[in-house]
Amino acid sequence: MFVSLLRLEIYKIFRRPRTYIAFGAITVIVLLIQLALKVNGTDFIRLYTDTQTDIFEIPYENILNGYFVCVMVLHMILIHVPLLVALIAGDMISGEAAAGTLRLIAAKPISRTRLILAKFAASSLYVVALLLWMAVFALAGSILIFGTGDLLVFKETEMHLMKQTDVFWRFLAAFAFAALALTAIAAMAILFSVFSENSLGPIVTTVCVVIVFTIMQQLKVPLFEKWINPWSLTAHMLGWKGFFYVEKNEEGVTLDGSVENPWAVLQSALILTGYIVLFLMISVYYFRKKDILS
């Protein structure tokens, strides 16, 4: 029954015109970034590496390849994708309540726990589909346009160089991590959706939470740094970057297949998983007791 319910939820998601706004937005943004880098790539890299020019001699012409462009795309848009996820997940329960279909579904022989879990699973699959779409356009598209090469990534005052043979798995891992992070956003949006009877409220609330925590993270205030940021959802969402920071030996030579701080990546993944479980548990608990009056 759960699989059948999940199929129905996926069917409903992909029959709604709103779903394709996210796919369209990602396509347009990725294409715009690729076009901009194709036309003014070197200037952009100069601007991007402005703070490092005093420390390193940067080989601008060799940096611009498909892998570098894909990392740039991820940097620029992954922080905005929660909005696109909230657009669908925030509407999963509240949208049905507003449309008057929630009462029809809840009067069917399906447990409310299963209903929430099916909606969460469907939202997660939507997240995966969105990231696959992004992977195709950002990674495959960039490789097609800019070709391949070694990947150079800057981290504050450090420079991380990865051989092109050591890059592809990092993208796979980064996309998988992003899927986990965005699933946490989907779980949060579903939680807000359970409490609401209109679509807009949960979507706006989810986006607001992401914005507020992102600002707190960027403010670097000691109070936030000590008590909030170590547990901040948005801070751990950026854990995917860890796959592009490599370990170096004593001579400063990059170690192939290494990750600079695997424990930090794992810790972020665990915290995100914890958030997913927590959000789902609250959603299920509340939804099971909720009087459906919509």
What does the binding site for another protein look like in residue numbers (CB under 8 A)?
1, 4-5, 8, 11-12, 15-17, 99-101, 103-111, 289, 291-293
Looking at the DSSP bridge assignments, the partners of residue 280 are: none
Is the CB of 39 or the CB of 107 nearer to another protein? Answer: 107
Cβ 97 to another protein, closest distance in Å? 11
Taking the least distance from each CB to another protein, the nearer of 63 and 93 is: 93
Minimum separation from the CB atom of position 204 to another protein (A): 22
Q: Are 84 and 25 in contact (CB under 8 A)?
A: yes
The CA-based angle 47-217-52, given to 5 degrees, is 25
Least gap, CB of 16 to another protein (angstroms):
6
Q: Which is nearer to another protein, 142 or 283 (CB)?
A: 283
Tell me how far, at minimum, the Cβ of 211 lies from another protein, in Å. 30
Of 44 and 286, which CB lies nearer to another protein in the complex structure? 286
- Residue number, 112 or 241, with CB nearest to another protein: 112
Instruction: Phi first, then psi: give them for residue 160, nearest 5 degrees.
Output: -115, 120
| Least distance from another protein to the Cβ atom of residue 70, Å | 34
Least distance (Å) from another protein to the CB of residue 225?
Answer: 43
Smaller CB distance to another protein: residue 1 or 277? Answer: 1
Min separation Cβ 73 and another protein, Å:
31
**Which among 172, 169, 189 is positioned nearest to 131, based on CA atoms?**
172
Q: Between residues 134 and 194, which has the closer beta carbon with respect to another protein? A: 194
